[in-house]
Amino acid sequence: MWASWQAQATTTLDPSILSLLPRHCTTCPCLHSPLKSHITHICQRTDSEKTELRQNRKVQGISGEEVSAAERERSVEVPWMPARLVTLPLPGYPLEYPPHQNCHWIITAPEASQRIVLNFNPHFEIERLDCKYDFIEIRDGTSDTADVLGRHCSNIAPAPIISSGPSLQIRFVSDYAHQGAGFSLRYEIFKTGSEFCFRNFTSSSGMIESPGFPDKYPHNLECSYMIIAPPRMDITLTFLTFDLENDPLLVGEGDCKYDWLDVWDGLPQVSPLIGRYCGTKIPPEIQSSSGLLSLSFHTDMAVAKDGFSARYNITHKEVTDSFHCSMALGMESGKISDDQITASTSFYDNRWLPRQARLNNDDNAWTPSEDSNKEYIQVDLHFLKVLTGIATQGAISKETQKSYYVNTFKLEVSTNGEDWMVYRHGKNHKIFHANTDPAEVVLNRVPQPVLARFVRIRPQTWKNGIALRFELYGCQITDAPCSDLQGLLSGLLPDAQISASSSRDMVWNPGTARLVASRSGWFPAPAQPLAGEEWLQVDLGVPKTVRGVITQGARGGDAGSGATTDNRAFVRKYKVAHSLNAKEWNFIMDSKTSLPKIFEGNTHYDTPELRHFEETVAQYIRLYPERWSPAGIGMRVEILACDLPEISTPADTATPTLPVDVETATVPITTTVATSPPSDSVCDFDHGLCGWTHDPNAPLYWSLHSHELNSYLYMDASLKTEQQRARLVSPVVAAETGPLCLLFSYQLWGEAQGQLKVLLRDAQNEETLLWTLKDDQGPVWKEGRTILPRSPKDFQVVMEGFFVHGTRGHIWIDNIHMSSSTPLKECTRGGVPVPPLPIHWHYIMAAGGALLLLAVAILVRALCCCRQHLATKKSQLSVAYHSSSQCFQYSNWSSSMAAPGVEPVLTVTMTVSMILPVIIMVKKPNEFGDGRLFSGRNPLGGVLQFPEWNTASPSSEPPVTRVSEKDNSWLYTLDPILVTIIVMSSLGVLLGAVCTGLLLYCPCSFGSLSSRSSTTLENYNFELYDGLKHKVKLNQQRCCTEA
């Protein structure tokens, strides 16, 4: 209903008219008398929804006379008047408004769930001059301290304004000069939706739909949906359909002008905003671990679309003390959507976009428009996560076949996408060394893991040009044991439970000390505080097991207030105290010094720092700043804790019962029973699949080739198998098993561009890529190896085969072995392409080797005994010592045998346990001089002197009859014969090794070693220490050189 209103005046209405007004229409001032009947009519109607405020040039009463200034200063309460649009006389407007006006209108809706919309007439004229003298001001509420929605002047009409509550306040002020036509507006009261517009979801799964779905949603909605999960539970939100009005001229993510859906990691308007979505593109899957996920749905009064539908699931989070913060965060798998990847610029031909920067992407990579160290690529992880590593890759252009890769880069992190910090190692910026070729995957571990939501990679040096593919590694904060967020970030913890020793003012009170979510933070009152005097306290509500704190700096003002970096403060060091009653306090102690422990705080006002300590039972936590930045003390915090274990009596445990809501919140993880750790047996498929099974969800099954000598699994390339996957799943491996070494034989051959992958699948069917190989590797058997890391959860190994094309080719796998005895270093070696031998050949080779060793031992033993027998008779040339258990002999040389310039040789022959003789040749080095040993002995008749050995003693052996030297002259040649045998045997072994090496080298060079034989975790095997990944770089030619 359009109604004309004068600028500020009061009048007395006829009592008969007042009796016709509803209770909320107590007065209808500022009206001309001809409108009395219309007012009565308006207040009686209930089926219309609009009215109009208009301002007059001249203030008049019922009789048309001007009223006093005192009357003009009174406030006017505008009643709620739902009405149809009716043409009304417009007294005065659009002539000039009078001077010295100070008018107030208060519009109140009858229901708390209703909202008010103001729409201004385009004919708008109020004195300019920065709205200092004449202006119209709209406040979101009835109080003088309510938020200002806008202050307007000049000749441009404001955009529509919507209240956040059921009331709105309008104020108009004019001075003594420069009047204009004024303004005209209408307001509209509307409902924010039906009972389905405000809902809380607590069951284990459910559907969330826009009002009226699948029909078009209503106008002017302000809906709110909240999904609440118990502790140690994750919330996963998956959108099925999505169609909201959007502006086609706004193409960036979050650029929504008309209708939109906001997703919050906690309470709306309090917690961090995950994203704002509109248009027809389905938002990515969202997973939250804060315990609360909220959706805010806003629509305007114009175009309506089909709306949205989404499914949520609440799943249990399994956490153990042995967890490793080394999960791939989703670049390669696609868990990180294209909209989450942005860059400073991209190459002009749209073939090198940010979405192509995924690790192992086979379609180019990301390249900026200009190769410069000012360019960057950025990822929004949607949540605050722990970053522990980055794997990078270059690319080969599909158009020019030219290689591009980044040699070094810097890392930047942020929690809000606005305030960035360059990662430092020590005092200097950390330079990460990346690639040396376009295909290799290089993993860089972050020396000190960092908390961040936004991650930027800024290339510093490169080869030929910048081209980058990468993956991020880390985990969520709540993946660690007893690390539940206690509600400061999400808003679940009320402001009343956050207190402090003092506060600077209302803008920086303790309630703003929320990690990430707050744009300011807590500042104490003193400009020059004393160490240990100020504190920030958090009341958890009930006693809990507290394990750590996260601290962040604070900003002394927002960007709109002109704040500078001088207003951005943080705490460098602090102490932590805890209490159960807020009266008796104890500090966290340092076990080394037995003094209160001083924790290292922040080095940047935006980057959070996580500090753990021994688990402590407490309800109140206090942080005492000890040292801080030059800008002063500024803090935002979050507490990490978990619920105390429940103590139940025998009576309680005798008949256990579960509440309905607990039962509905329990989601079965898997129907497969965990098995014991795998044995060291090899699955050669001679007797079936050895407990492995085909994945029922895969479109193809592996085929079994059965033969009496060798059996294996295979898949052949054909039109049927083109773009299809066959998957083989192992038995369930129990948690805390490993690390294991996975060994297997494979063939990957043909032009069909086959791919063989090894993946790790957990109980929630989430998969992690461990090993992959693609393209033609030759029609020969090779060995693949990768490490199966120790996992806190049950897991399964998945062997996946895939063909890009349906042309000629095959993939074979055999001899799968999860070995717990193979050293991890051996597990990182590259495989040798040799065909697997039948098992009986191993026994034949072992028996042949044993016979050959026995024959050599017998031959050498015989020669030794013959030489001993001769030495006994030649006592003038040697001294022999005999015993029943061994044959031990030394041979010296007479002066006649030691010719000048000839190097003397000492031969020592020993028989150990009368079985195997050992020949030891000792030669005197030339550099020690002629006739000298170590320059410490003098020659004596050319015979080497051994004082402890060369003293002769009377022989106890019986006399021996001399034998003619001529008859036994062949015995004097035993030494050359033995030397010849040994030398020839050595040459034979060496020649055999060379031939074997050549035989192995040919397949290696013919096969995959000319190209990358594997990807991430074969060339770069990860060993997990203290939750971090280390790179073990493999030499691709090792299998050939070691052979």
User: In angstroms, rounded to a whole number, what is the distance separating the alpha carbons of residues 125 and 123?
Assistant: 7
* Residue 469 token pair: 């593919």
Alpha helices in 608-691 (DSSP H): 650-654, 660-665
What topology is assigned to 195-316 in CATH?
Jelly Rolls (2.60.120)
**pLDDT mean over 682-696:** 84
User: In angstroms, rounded to a whole number, what is the distance separating the alpha carbons of residues 880 and 619?
Assistant: 88
- Residue 618 is predicted with a pLDDT of 94
Sign for the pseudo-dihedral over CA of 579, 582, 584, 585? positive
User: In angstroms, rounded to a whole number, what is the distance separating the alpha carbons of residues 158 and 121?
Assistant: 9
User: In angstroms, rounded to a whole number, what is the distance separating the alpha carbons of residues 285 and 293?
Assistant: 13
- Backbone torsions φ then ψ of 927, nearest 5 degrees: -70, -10
Q: Annotated binding site for Ca(2+), which residues?
A: 245, 259, 300
- Residue 507, CA distances (Å) to 493, 512, 518, 520, 569 in order: 19, 8, 11, 8, 15
CATH class, range 15-191: mainly beta
The answer on pLDDT for 772 being more than 70 is yes
**pLDDT mean over 314-332:** 85
How does pLDDT run across 889-935, given as a tens digit for each residue?
433 433 333 333 334 444 444 443 333 433 333 333 333 333 333 33
Give the three-class secondary structure for 237.
strand
- Residue 552, CA distances (Å) to 426, 477, 629 in order: 19, 15, 12
**pLDDT mean over 226-235:** 89
Confidence of residue 993 (pLDDT cuts 50, 70, 90): low
User: In angstroms, rounded to a whole number, what is the distance separating the alpha carbons of residues 800 and 797?
Assistant: 10
How does pLDDT run across 92-149, given as a tens digit for each residue?
556 788 888 888 888 888 877 777 888 888 888 888 888 888 889 999 998 888 888 8
User: In angstroms, rounded to a whole number, what is the distance separating the alpha carbons of residues 482 and 618?
Assistant: 14
The answer on pLDDT for 945 being more than 60 is no
- Residue 184 is predicted with a pLDDT of 84
Between 6-15, 189-198, 330-339, 511-520, the lowest mean confidence (pLDDT) is in 6-15
CATH for the stretch 484-642 = 2.60.120.260
Instruction: Indicate the CATH number of 327-477 among 1.10.10.10, 3.40.50.720, 2.30.30.110, 2.60.120.260.
Output: 2.60.120.260
* Residue 837 token pair: 């031998």
* Residue 517 token pair: 């979510």
User: In angstroms, rounded to a whole number, what is the distance separating the alpha carbons of residues 594 and 475?
Assistant: 33
User: In angstroms, rounded to a whole number, what is the distance separating the alpha carbons of residues 258 and 198?
Assistant: 20
More confident residue, 355 or 827: 355
Kindly state the helix (H) or strand (E) to which residue 359 belongs, with its residue range.
Answer: none
Which residue in this structure is represented by tokens 């109607």? 45
Strands 428-429 and 377-393: unpaired
- Residue 342 is predicted with a pLDDT of 93
How does pLDDT run across 398-444, given as a tens digit for each residue?
888 999 999 999 999 999 888 899 998 888 899 999 999 998 999 99
The answer on pLDDT for 91 being more than 70 is no
CB 100 within 8 A of CB 7: no
What residues form DSSP beta bridges with 552?
A: 636
Strands 536-552 and 636-642: antiparallel
Which residue in this structure is represented by tokens 């080719």? 809
The answer on pLDDT for 527 being more than 80 is yes
DSSP E strand stretches across 464-570: 469-476, 484-485, 498-500, 536-552, 554-555, 568-569
Mean of per-residue pLDDT scores for the chain: 73
User: Could you tell me which of 495, 453, 501 has the C-alpha nearest to residue 474?
Assistant: 453
The burial of 365, by beta-carbon neighbours within 10 Å (0-12 exposed, 13-18 middle, 19 or more buried), is given as buried
How does pLDDT run across 623-659, given as a tens digit for each residue?
999 999 988 899 999 999 998 876 543 334 333 333 3
* Residue 89 token pair: 């006389």
Confidence of residue 1000 (pLDDT cuts 50, 70, 90): low
CATH for the stretch 693-833+1017-1041 = 2.60.120.200
Confidence of residue 60 (pLDDT cuts 50, 70, 90): very low
- Residue 997 is predicted with a pLDDT of 59
Kindly state the helix (H) or strand (E) to which residue 452 belongs, with its residue range.
Answer: strand 442-463
Between 40-54, 119-133, 372-386, 469-483, the lowest mean confidence (pLDDT) is in 40-54
More confident residue, 977 or 183: 183
- Residue 870 is predicted with a pLDDT of 57
Q: Which of 557-571, 611-625, 711-725 has the highest mean pLDDT?
A: 611-625
- Residue 884 is predicted with a pLDDT of 39
User: In angstroms, rounded to a whole number, what is the distance separating the alpha carbons of residues 375 and 345?
Assistant: 7
- Residue 700 is predicted with a pLDDT of 87
CA angle 643, 644, 645 (to 5 degrees): 115
Q: Annotated binding site, which residues?
A: 245, 259, 300
- Residue 996 is predicted with a pLDDT of 62
Strands 703-705 and 740-750: unpaired
Between 6-15, 393-402, 430-439, 810-819, the lowest mean confidence (pLDDT) is in 6-15
CB 153 within 8 A of CB 134: yes
| DSSP, res 505 | S
CB 393 within 8 A of CB 365: yes
User: In angstroms, rounded to a whole number, what is the distance separating the alpha carbons of residues 776 and 948?
Assistant: 69
- Residue 238 is predicted with a pLDDT of 95
The burial of 923, by beta-carbon neighbours within 10 Å (0-12 exposed, 13-18 middle, 19 or more buried), is given as exposed
User: In angstroms, rounded to a whole number, what is the distance separating the alpha carbons of residues 108 and 81?
Assistant: 10
CB 340 within 8 A of CB 308: no
User: Could you tell me which of 390, 253, 392, 409 has the C-alpha nearest to residue 329?
Assistant: 390
Cβ-Cβ contacts under 8 Å for 273 (sequence gap 6 or more): 262, 263, 264, 265
Between 104-108, 595-599, 706-710, the lowest mean confidence (pLDDT) is in 706-710
In this prediction, what percent of the chain has a pLDDT beyond 70? 65
Omega before residue 645 within 30° of 0, cis = no
- Residue 975 is predicted with a pLDDT of 59
User: Could you tell me which of 350, 636, 628 has the C-alpha nearest to residue 493?
Assistant: 636
